[in-house]
Chain A
Amino acid sequence: MTAAATLEVRDLHVWFGLGHGRELHAVRGISLALRPGERLGLVGESGCGKTTAILALMGLLPPTASVSGQVLLGGENIMARGEATLRPHRWRDIAMVFQGAMNAFNPVRTIGAQIAEPMRLHATVPRKAIPARVAELLELVGIPASRASRYPHEFSGGMRQRAALAMALACSPRVLLADEPTTALDVIVQAQILELLRSVTEELGLAMIFVSHDLPAVAVICHRAAVMYAGQVAEEGPVPSLLRDPRHPYTRMLFGATPDLWEGSAAQPIPGAPPRLDRPIIGCSFAPRCDRVMGHCQEQRPDWLQVAEDRFAACHLNAGLPAAQVQP
């Protein structure tokens, strides 16, 4: 698995300095491996660290953040010397689509010019070939090439999200990071964008990390999902088996809180709130909200265990199984 991975994240930590010597431990040791062409969903409530984790992969965190861990892109640790080793890969090998497509564009420059920008910066395409490549990218995401000369305000939300994807694909990256790309969109446009992400990644053989709080959206386009809670991965596995047989109570409760149009049972809220991350967490971070909490959950942090083939979870309910080699 390690050898074949396009992108591998090992024990990633992110801290934000809060001043006065205090800090917030936003990402508390996550490890992920992304195979070529694989779509991995990163799911969780707001504040669980999912966006922080992928911004760390892009090296786009604010200066108050400190990061540790390894990010292996085709075997090379791009975090080895921080910005110096990351910069050559940003947009070229690893690109990102941001949450607010509304605000991702400069309002006074044409869409075409903005899609061309990463190509000019990285010189991945000869200057003369850029307009043709912009047209090709626009067509790929379902925008008529003639729209390249239009400004962002002339585009609807769905069109801007398509254009943002075209910009991310400009330098033919190997890995696409998508941060809540459908959150602000209406259901029909959301379905269009999900379908577009699926078809484009399939066509280009792109690996993708799809960050969302929307479990159903992750379920429809991702092969695997990692459920994050309080800066850690609580459970990971192929989407169908994860949903059928969750091995962490948080996955099950998150699933139960998601309303379903045709299912009779109403959604059940998860009581309580996620823990504060500016204080040390003792034991399992989910214990205060868990409906199957046991005595030692409060004191002992659960190990990351392989619970079935290709299935991992960090929960004491799976005790007795051999510890996984993937995460320290």
Chain B
Amino acid sequence: MTEGAVTTGAAMGGSPLLDVRGLVARYPVRGVAGVRRWRERPVVHAVEGVSLTVAAGEIVALVGESGCGKTTTAQAVLRMLAPDAGSVLLRGRDITRLSHRELRPLRREMQMIYQDPYESLDPRFRVRDAVAEPLIIHRLAAAGAERHELVVGALELVGLTPPELYLDRFPHELSGGQRQRVAIAAAMIVQPRLLVADEPVSMLDVSVRAGILALLDTLRRDGLGVLMITHDLSTAAHHADRICVMYLGRIVEQGPASAVVHSPAHPYTRALLSAVPRRDPRAWAAPEVLPGELPDPVRPPRGCGFHPRCPVAVPECSAVLPRLRAAGPAAHLAACHLIADVQATDGAG
């Protein structure tokens, strides 16, 4: 039914699949200790000016600690919440100001999978119903035979073969990895262009994680754009084309995955990388254990949000907010006043 619309959309060309520009999302809070309500209305600064792009056939990882704003960013991308400023362009079209009616056909193009496949599937739905549900919501494939064919196709796509073995099972009869595959099948059945994956493997056993990531990789090769939210840098390093590192609502570093992992420019990225346990413990001799935890996003620090924990902060860091600037070749950017100095130190060390 929307074939015509899809062709016109593709003909627009030029613009990336997803283009997020200067996204700001704040939540009002009540009853925060120490904030006088009649003077200022306290807000959580969840996302403060995030810009990123995802091209068709690209996996972009959004990496950061809990509370850094990565899930809020994803929710704003999917218009699950209205951003306070900035815009989200899907194939060149700004979706931030669209009405719900105008948005509905576009929802089909962006699907989401969640962290916990135990929670995201309805326990009373058989696999065939869970996977067919999006077809019903988007009023696609009304005829039973056609629907069945699409469900079987989606199960084959995610590697649940032979599909007949899975169609009539309930979620509790499936393993965690199989459940996540069902969730991916339900997302893929409406042929989205963008998949937002919020921690897609962090609840799964290590033995099945690699299989799910390989599946996302296959789907990407067929042209799907993937925005993967994760706190696991090892996953991002191996499976993403580009990595965006978030800290306290802002992107502090972004670039090709190998550049971010092998020559990190921001002190936060370097601390994050050093904290990742290695397969070989001898290689993890001295993690850079950062003092403290993420600051309160209701009252973010002045200047660079990372300066209270930063091992190399200078006075400027507590006064001036650093902008993203070139930190290496090929669109490798970082927001740190010390970029030149940090690199010089690295060379000397």
Contact = CB atoms under 8 A, between A and B. Distances in A.
29 contacts: A45-B206, A156-B293, A186-B65, A187-B272, A187-B275, A188-B65, A189-B293, A191-B274, A191-B287, A215-B206, A216-B284, A217-B277, A219-B278, A219-B280, A220-B281, A220-B284, A243-B281, A257-B210, A259-B237, A259-B279, A261-B237, A261-B261, A262-B261, A267-B238, A269-B207, A269-B211, A270-B207, A273-B175, A273-B177
Interface in B264-282: 271-282
Contacts of A214: 206, 277
A158 B277 contact: no
Contacts of B66: 157, 186
A257 B206 contact: yes
Nearest to A187: B275
A187 B277 CA distance: 8
A185 to B, nearest CB: 8
Interface in A232-270: 239-240, 243, 253-255, 257-263, 266-270
A195 interface: yes
Interface stretch (B35-43, B102-110, B227-235, B332-340): B227-235
Contact of A254 (B207, B234, B275, B277): B207
A268 B284 contact: no
Contacts of B237: 259, 261-262
Contacts of A213: 205-206
A46 interface: yes
A192 interface: yes
Contacts of B235: 259
A156 B238 CA distance: 30
Contacts of A259: 209-210, 232, 234-235, 237-238, 279
B271 A188 contact: yes
A99 interface: no
Q: Which of A187, A268, A270 has the most CB of B within 10 A?
A: A187
B282 A191 contact: no
Nearest to A43: B206
Given A253-B207, A257-B210, A273-B175, A190 B278 contact: no
Contacts of B176: 46
Chain B at the A interface: SS class: helix
Interface of B: 65-66, 175-177, 205-211, 213-214, 231-235, 237-239, 261-262, 271-284, 287, 289-290, 293-294
Nearest to A270: B207
A154 to B, nearest CB: 9
B284 A189 contact: no
A220 B272 CA distance: 16
Contact of B281 (A156, A189, A239): A239
B281 A216 contact: yes
B206 A188 contact: no
B210 A268 contact: yes
A262 B283 contact: yes
A191 B277 CA distance: 8
Given A188-B65, A189-B293, 4 more contacts: A191-B289, A219-B277, A259-B237, A262-B283
Contacts of B177: 273
A215 B279 contact: yes
Contacts of B282: 240
A206 B157 CA distance: 51
Given A220-B281, A240-B281, A263-B279, A269 B210 contact: yes
Nearest to A243: B280
A269 B289 contact: no
B289 A195 contact: yes
A261 B273 contact: yes
B110 to A, nearest CB: 27
B214 A269 contact: yes
Contacts of B232: 187, 259
Contact of A187 (B214, B238, B276): B276
